[in-house]
Structure 1
Amino acid sequence: GVATSAEMAEMTYTVDYYIHVDSKDDALKLTTHMPFGGHYIKAEEVASYAGPVVEQAINQVIQVTPMEHINEHIHEIVELVKEHMSAFLAVYGITLNDAKVLVLPKD
Structure 2
Amino acid sequence: MHLKKTIVMVAMGAALTATVSATPAQATVADTSCASGEFCDWTGANYTGSKAVSSALPGVCYHGTVTKSVKNNTSRQVVLYRNSTCTSSDVVIVGARQWMPTLPWTIHSYQA
What's the TM-score, normalizing by structure 1?
0.20
- Larger Cα-atom Rg: 2
**Larger % of strand: which?**
2
Work out which structure has the larger RCO, using CA pairs closer than 8 Å and 6 or more positions apart in sequence: 1
Larger proportion of helix: 1
Q: TM-score, normalised by structure 2?
A: 0.20
